[in-house]
A = this chain, B = another copy of it.
Amino acid sequence: MRLLFKGAGILAWKDEDFHYIPEGFLGVDGDTIDYIGADRPEAPYDREKDMRGKLLIPGLVNCHCHAAMTLLRGVGSDLPLDRWLFEAVFPVEDRMKTDDFIAGNELAVLEMLASGVTSFSDMYMEPQTLIELNEQVGMKVNLTRVVQAFDPAEPPEKNYRIPESLALFDQFHGCQNGRVRVDFGVHAEYTINDAVTRYYADQIRPYREKGARVQLHLSETRKEHEECIARHGLTPAAWFEKMGIFDLPAAAAHCVWCTPADLDILKAHGVCPIHNPTSNLKLGSGFAPVPEMLERGLCVALGTDGAASNNNLNLFEEMHIAAIGINGYLMDPELMPPATLLRMATVNGAALQGRDDTGRLAVGMKADIAAIDMDRPHLYPAFEPMPMLVYAAQASDVYMTMVDGKILYENGEYLTIDREKAMFDAKRAVKRLYGG
């Protein structure tokens, strides 16, 4: 099937930068973009789609998410951080069963598809439920079975999570035509110990050749950062480096309290930081040193974190809040240009996920596309697309979401997931988890 979008604005990628075509043509052959230009291509297409008034942008990449936590949206909102975790979140998570993970994942997928996300990285329990759901949905997802260790006396060989993590990779990495990637994962420094981490690093090191990558949380809160120093005499970044985890390409969520020396460690190992501004601000964790990261040439991407601490999965908000939050905090309106934010949410996100064939609109790239409906009063006038996307657009301005050349969402309709069933499943799960 060859499909031609015509009349659309196109935010193409050219010479390592965004290149705006106000009205043009974008051709898709199977799962791949085969034409972009202001003029009509010579070759005929099987189907043409009139996209006047729409702007085609690369699909957004949500690099840090706990998808099924949608079922914990807004839980315990009035509690302080530690009570929120121990009194509101953990007891619910403890009750969650396979059907709940399925339902939470469905709800997350509905929300992300409607907001232009084509790919996301997930870190949560029962990742197989997400793989299975995605077989039908058709998004791209990097998922992981994270390793933790709560009993310091337990020898690493007995940690059941490690073989599960390796098996998940062996069984599913690259499946669904590459749409599913399995990452290795360490939850965080404060939920594991030296022996298990070193052992896990040894186990996963050989997978480097197979393109394996790592997800982890890093220096999210001051408490976490300082307690790690007290425990190990090292910052979390220095400790992970010493343990050998950074021998694989890694994606480090948060990095709020990373020092300049920590950023140098990330740079030396090609670790990609994920900025989660909404969650960091809402929980009072602070402002990540994003300008310093960018200055060092780190591949900084964006994430929503889970809906429990956000409370949605809306990358338009993350772009917006990242931009103005840092400009306001450092009192410099030029620190975070809109193009940088869009790059973080697309190109950098794809690179962080180890996907070199997506994240930008160019011939030969996978057709992972979001279409923005520009015919909205709050988007007019739009002299330049980038400030419009970052400062003025809402997630609900997304008209269409396409992954690998297949339209998954269009004009309010989901084409690969049953919205009513998903909402029904979510309501049933909420009843089960919370009673009533």
A residues bordering B, Cβ < 8 Å?
A: 70-71, 73-75, 77-78, 80-81, 107, 110-111, 114-115, 222, 278, 280-287, 307, 310-314, 317, 320-321, 323-325, 327-335, 337-338, 375, 377-378, 380-384, 386-388, 391-392, 394-397, 419, 422-423, 426-427, 430, 434
Contact = CB atoms under 8 A, between A and B. Distances in A.
Contacts of A324: 278, 281-282, 321
Contacts of A280: 328
B338 A77 contact: yes
Contacts of A321: 321, 324
A110 B375 CA distance: 12
B381 A323 contact: no
Given A77-B338, A286-B331, A324-B281, A114 B377 contact: yes
Contact of A383 (B74, B317, B380, B383): B74
A8 to B, nearest CB: 19
Q: Which 10 A-B pairs have the closest CB atoms?
A: A281-B328, A396-B396, A110-B377, A77-B387, A281-B324, A284-B333, A311-B391, A311-B392, A282-B324, A74-B387
Nearest to A78: B337
Given A312-B378, A321-B324, A392 B74 contact: yes
Given A328-B286, A395-B394, A333 B81 contact: yes
Contacts of A378: 111, 114-115, 312-314, 395
Contacts of A386: 77
Contact of A377 (B107, B328, B333): B107
Nearest to A107: B377
A17 to B, nearest CB: 14
A73 B383 CA distance: 8
Given A73-B382, A312-B378, 6 more contacts: A70-B380, A284-B334, A312-B392, A325-B325, A377-B419, A377-B423
13 contacts: A73-B392, A114-B378, A115-B378, A222-B331, A278-B324, A283-B327, A310-B391, A312-B391, A314-B394, A325-B328, A329-B329, A375-B423, A380-B430
A284 B328 contact: yes
Contacts of A422: 377
B311 A380 contact: no
